[in-house]
Amino acid sequence: QQAKTPTPACWTGVNERTFVAVKPDGVQRRLVGEIMRRFEKKGFKLVGLKLVQASEELLREHYWDLRSRPFFGGLVTYMSSGPVVAMVWQGLDVVKTARKMLGETNPADSLPGTIRGDFCVEVCRNVIHGSDSVESAQKEISLWFRQSELNRWESSSSRWLYN
């Protein structure tokens, strides 16, 4: 069994970070603003943001764990079919909460009120990706962003969000 990399203290508590990407279908369907609005209104802090045309190489690495699945080729083609909005959001329990906000991988299993529950119908066009653990968030953020692209800033609302 692979040893677990310990989470650095700077990545825990209110400083936890997750990687979220609006997929090409989400960009084409003009869902970027609505999705970002949900994360902002929830109280998470945006620390990284860019519109990128992802290379197949980057996507193969991003989805490396799924490489033997029959849909892998189609997934890479879909994800490279247009620009993606890559984001890093920060806040307490952001990895777990973002997954809840996204809904289930299959939109049909996603409750109304979630992003996938509200805006899509099929698993191969599920509009958004979010890291599934703190560990994969760290890997995905370093794959998609340079350190210099991540911003540290003091949020004036943090004292109203955290005790």
Ligand X SMILES: Nc1ncnc2c1ncn2[C@@H]1O[C@@H]2COP(=O)(O)O[C@H]2[C@H]1O
Residues that bind ligand X (CB under 6 A): 71, 75, 105, 123-124, 126, 129
CB of 123 to ligand X, least distance (A): 5
Nearer to ligand X, 123 or 161 (CB): 123
CB of 150 to ligand X, least distance (A): 21
Nearer to ligand X, 56 or 157 (CB): 56
Interacting residues of 130 by C-beta distance below 8 A, sequence separation 6+: 18, 19, 20, 21, 95, 98, 99, 101, 102
Binding residues: 23, 71, 99, 105, 116, 126
CB of 14 to ligand X, least distance (A): 25
Cα–Cα distance, 3 to 160 (Å, whole number): 38
Neighbour-count burial of 87, counting CB atoms closer than 10 A to its CB (0-12 exposed, 13-18 middle, 19+ buried): buried
The yes-or-no answer on residue 129 being catalytic is: yes
Amino acid letter for position 145:
F
Nearer to ligand X, 50 or 69 (CB): 69
Cα–Cα distance, 91 to 75 (Å, whole number): 29
Neighbour tally for 124: CB within 10 Å: 11
Neighbour tally for 28: CB within 10 Å: 14
Kindly name the residue from 17, 45, 62, 129 that is annotated as catalytic.
129
112, β-bridge pairs: 114
Binding residues for ATP: 23, 71, 99, 105, 116, 126
Q: Catalytic residue numbers?
A: 129
